[in-house]
Structure 1
Amino acid sequence: MILDVDTGIDDSLALLYLLASPEAQILGIAATAGNVGTAQVAANTLAMLDLGGAGEIEVAAGADGPLAIPLRTTEDTHGPQGLGYAELPVSARALSGRSAARMWAELARAHPGAIGLCTGPLTNLALALRLEPELPRLLGRLVIMGGAFQHPGNTTPTNEWNIHVDPEAAKEVFDAFSAAPPQRRPLVCALDITETIEMRPAHLARLAEAAGSAPVELPAAGQGAAWRSAASNPVLRYLVDAVRFYFDFHHGYDLGYLAHMHDPFAAAVALDPALVTTRPATVDVELAGTITRATTVADWAGMWGRQPNADIAVGTDPAVFFDRLITRVGAYARRLYPEPPA
């Protein structure tokens, strides 16, 4: 797998999910500006690899900002450093000497059939396509977390955050993947599906039990910014502090005390597309609309006369995903940080 992330809270859970999945071999990780700036994304990613006990994995820094517009970040959603209330030690791991775009291109050439997973803006992938236009045919599958189709946006009334940050890059990617053979069309996990993936405090409690971590904590509204987890397992301690910020954010917008797990779900789909039902469509990105710029538009009926360039996830069972997340990450956390004998 080749990952492209803007490591905030849900990206970090996606990374833990993949590290906990024995079938996932991470070839390299591209850091893209999005939830926070590129340098902070890279630092967060390296720190997560430490926490997750990962071996040597290349992490390459991407562009400092979008292709054509100023960078917009979202610390209000993910916290000042991008990881909610959690704080991780600075990693001693070194960044790659090559750019994220070059890493994408060279890894895809060296590992034809690799899976690509993008959980942030598509800037790096767009730049990689300029270096290697054959990427749509080299990758075995590309999974994109982004867009909103028959669903309200989470950044403007019609658009989703990752596409909003760099709509020019998103359009380049969807246009380029029109050349992908039908069996290699991008699989898109948009808000239509990812906002049904609602993590709640009870899921964190189940994770703690699976990891053998104590005490089992149930975050709640009103605990305040100063409260920190006392979980005995470092992975669980991180998860509670990171995800609680996400809970607080959603609660502040009257969405409930919950967190949408966009990126871990996309990671699970990248490993097992059978988690979703999909529908083919031709996807384009609006760049000129006064109030609809960065909106993803899907032609489901072929009105444009263009072949489908994406398979859009339209159905899933969130309980199946959460059972898998809890089983994998809980067991992995227990193996990484076993409790000392009583």
Structure 2
Amino acid sequence: MTLPVFVDVDTGVDDAMALMYLFASSDADVVGIASTAGNVPVEQVCANNLGLLELCGLDIPVSKGAEQPITAPLRTAEDTHGPEGMGYAQLPATDRELTAHDAADAWIRAAHAHPGELVAIAVGPLTNLALALRREPALPKLLRRLVIMGGAFDYRGNTTPVAEWNISVDPEAAAEVFAGWGAAWGLEPPRHLPIVLGLNLTENIAMTPALLSRLATAAESSTTPMSVLDDRGTRSNASNPLIAVLEDAMRFYFEFHFDQNEGYLAHLHDPLAAAVVLDPDLVTCRPTTVDVELTGTLTRGMTIADWSNRWGREPNALIGVDVDPKAFFDRFIARVGAFAKKLG
């Protein structure tokens, strides 16, 4: 069965990989892309999304989101993703245009166009989704499934000692989303809860040069395998244009993680969310109540899971607690490899 999919991204290297997974999946029909300020400013996110569509020859509506978080000043992550968000990769020029409506309206339009069927992922700050919930409080009832990449549960942060990047950029938006989800159902038991994939889960999904070489092989693309001994910024010589873009993007990501003493690898946070929105059985989840710290001097942006039900509140999220990285990468390589081969 093909699922209509709505994607909210702050593209971003791993966001681009998530989009490629969805583009490559025969069980996904991507009906809209919302651009969120995060890894880079929203104008650059829009440009990246349009450039990826040009590269892939696809026609999907792209909408611009808010330029700033709800209350906090915007912080971006060019040190992680490169000056344009795509590492060393250069995307093709395009004359494709954005929708006339903004990203919050795009959420609402997609949900009303596919009531009870739409599956959605939010893999950047939750600004657009929070604004959409303000305009359409019943949005959770219109979705079939929501997957959020964000937070860190019983795990260290990657932005502060306790906070994950997406939540930390706009913690007020995240708090509104978790609160708004429960409010949408009122006294009625929720038919579904958002699946939340935090760093405790996504950092198990580590792309390596060996896995990237497997992807090139699946695409029947010639390429020179990457190595930590390569000169910084070495460009891909892959014969397949899509593989070349992904390798140039990933090299920057590898170098960043290496400089953080994590090894010559890269955590594919967002592609896991893309896989889970199509097949939730890829991860094991636990229901709980999640809230976001907004005022702590040292803990702002921290996601707190009430595993012991100290608050006495109904669960508002399903937290991912276990995943099989091999199963994910086997599926990722098979799908994206075949897609790249077809494009090449």
Normalization by structure 1: what TM-score?
Answer: 0.96
Q: Tell me the secondary structure at the aligned position of residue 26 of structure 1.
A: strand
The correspondence of residues 119-198 of structure 1 with structure 2, limited to 5 A, is 119-179=123-183, 180=185, 181-198=189-206
Q: Tell me the secondary structure at the aligned position of residue 41 of structure 1.
A: helix
Structure 1: how far apart are the matches of 2:55 and 2:123?
20
1:283 has 2:290 as partner:
yes
Structure 1: how far apart are the matches of 2:190 and 2:332?
29
Q: Tell me the secondary structure at the aligned position of residue 103 of structure 1.
A: helix
* CA-CA distance at 1:87 after TM superposition: 0.8
Amino acid at match of 1:100: A
Q: Is the 8 A contact 2:63 2:98 kept in 1?
A: yes
1:49 has 2:56 as partner:
no
Q: Is the 8 A contact 1:85 1:225 kept in 2?
A: no
Structure 1: how far apart are the matches of 2:11 and 2:136?
25
Query: Deviations along 1:276-313, whole A, 9 cap, x unmatched?
Result: 01000100000010000010000012110110000001
Partner of 2:15: 11
Q: Is the 8 A contact 1:200 1:259 kept in 2?
A: yes
Structure 2: how far apart are the matches of 1:223 and 1:40?
28
Q: Is the 8 A contact 1:20 1:329 kept in 2?
A: yes
Amino acid at match of 1:214: S
Structure 1: how far apart are the matches of 2:196 and 2:175?
14
Q: Which residue, 88, 94, 98 being the options, matches 1:91?
A: 94
Structure 2: how far apart are the matches of 1:21 and 1:328?
6
Query: Deviations along 1:157-190, whole A, 9 cap, x unmatched?
Result: 0000000000000000000111454442000010
Q: Which runs of 4+ in 1 moved over 4 A?
A: none
Farther-moved stretch of structure 1 (81-90 vs 70-79): 81-90
* CA-CA distance at 1:226 after TM superposition: 4.0
Amino acid at match of 1:111: H
* CA-CA distance at 1:209 after TM superposition: 0.5
Aligned residue pair count:
335
Q: Which residue, 310, 323, 334 being the options, matches 1:316?
A: 323
Amino acid at match of 1:220: S
Q: Tell me the secondary structure at the aligned position of residue 311 of structure 1.
A: strand
Structure 1 unaligned blocks of 5 or more: 338-342
Partner of 1:340: none
**Identity percentage of aligned residues:** 58
Amino acid at match of 1:269: V
The correspondence of residues 13-32 of structure 1 with structure 2, limited to 5 A, is 13-32=17-36
Q: Which residue, 207, 212, 237 being the options, matches 1:230?
A: 237
Structure 1: how far apart are the matches of 2:136 and 2:125?
19
Partner of 1:40: 44
Structure 2 unaligned blocks of 5 or more: none
Normalization by structure 2: what TM-score?
Answer: 0.96
Q: Tell me the secondary structure at the aligned position of residue 79 of structure 2.
A: helix
Partner of 1:252: 259
Query: Deviations along 1:175-216, whole A, 9 cap, x unmatched?
Result: 01114544420000100100010100001100010000013x
Q: Is the 8 A contact 1:43 1:90 kept in 2?
A: no
* CA-CA distance at 1:222 after TM superposition: 4.1
Structure 2: how far apart are the matches of 1:281 and 1:289?
22
Partner of 2:309: 302
Structure 2: how far apart are the matches of 1:213 and 1:91?
25
Q: Which residue, 313, 318, 332 being the options, matches 1:325?
A: 332
Q: Tell me the secondary structure at the aligned position of residue 87 of structure 1.
A: coil
* CA-CA distance at 1:109 after TM superposition: 1.5
- Over aligned residue pairs, what C-alpha RMSD do you find? 1.0
Structure 1: how far apart are the matches of 2:152 and 2:77?
18
